[in-house]
Chain A
Amino acid sequence: MLDQLLSHWNYIIVVLLMMIGLFIVISSMNLVKKLIGLSLFQTSVFLFYISLGKIEGGTAPIIITSGHGDHGSYPSHDILYSNPLPHVLILTAIVVGVATTALGLSLVLRIKASFNSIEEDEILAEKRVMKSEGRSS
Chain B
Amino acid sequence: MIDWIKHLPAIIVVLPLLVAVIAALLPARFGWVLALLATAGSSLASVVMMTDFMTRWAGFRMSYHLGGWAPPWGIEFSVDHATALVIMVISGLGFVATMSSKSLFANEISSDDLGRVYGAWLLTFGGLLGLVMTADAFNLFVFFEISSLASVTLVAMGGGYDKRALIAAFNYLIIGAIGATFYVIGVGFCYAMTGTLNMLDLAVRLPEVNDQIPVYIGLAFMVTGVMVKAAIFPMHFWLPPSYGHAPMAVTTLLAAVATKASLYILVRVLMTIFGGIDTLPQLILQWVLIPLSLMAILLGTILAIYERDAKLMLAQSSIAQIGYIVLGFGMGSLAGLQAGFIHIANHAMIKGGMFIGLGGLAMAVAGKTKLNDLAGVGRRMPFTATGFLICGLSLIGLPLTAGFISKLYLITAVIEAGYWQIVAIVLFSSALSVIYLWRLIEVMWFTPSNSGDGRLPEQVMIYAPLWILALANIWFGISASTITEMSYGAAQVLMGGMT
Residues on A lying within 8 angstroms of B by beta carbon are 22, 25, 31, 34-35, 38, 41-42, 45, 48-49, 52, 85-86, 89, 92-93, 96, 99-100, 103-104, 107-108, 110-111, 114-115, 123, 127, 130, 134, 136-137
Contact = CB atoms under 8 A, between A and B. Distances in A.
Given A89-B138, A110-B166, A48 B145 contact: no
Given A38-B178, A99-B149, A127-B167, A93 B184 contact: yes
Contacts of B180: 96
B170 A104 contact: yes
Nearest to B184: A45
8 contacts: A34-B174, A89-B197, A115-B166, A136-B162, A136-B309, A136-B370, A136-B373, A137-B367
B185 interface: yes
B156 A110 contact: yes
B257 to A, nearest CB: 21
Interface of B: 138, 141-142, 145, 149, 152-153, 156, 158-159, 161-164, 166-167, 169-170, 173-174, 177-178, 180-181, 184-185, 188, 191-192, 197, 245, 309, 311, 367-370, 373
A49 B170 contact: no
Contacts of A85: 197
Nearest to A93: B184
Contacts of A103: 149, 152-153, 173
A137 B141 CA distance: 34
A89 B140 CA distance: 12
A95 B188 CA distance: 18
A135 B141 CA distance: 39
A32 B141 CA distance: 24
Given A115-B163, A134-B370, A136-B162, 16 more contacts: A34-B174, A38-B174, A45-B184, A45-B185, A48-B185, A89-B197, A99-B149, A100-B149, A100-B173, A104-B170, A108-B170, A111-B170, A114-B166, A136-B309, A136-B373, A137-B162
A99 B123 CA distance: 14
A34 B191 CA distance: 29
B177 A31 contact: no
A27 B417 CA distance: 43
A89 to B, nearest CB: 5
A107 B166 contact: yes
A45 B188 contact: yes
A107 B188 contact: no
A100 B184 CA distance: 15
Given A45-B184, A136-B368, A137-B369, A114 B159 contact: yes
A137 B149 CA distance: 23
A127 B164 contact: yes
A96 B139 CA distance: 12
A22 B178 CA distance: 9
Contact of B178 (A25, A31, A49, A114): A25
A92 B180 CA distance: 13
A107 B176 CA distance: 15
Contacts of B178: 22, 25, 38, 41
Nearest to B158: A137
A136 B156 contact: no
A137 B245 contact: yes
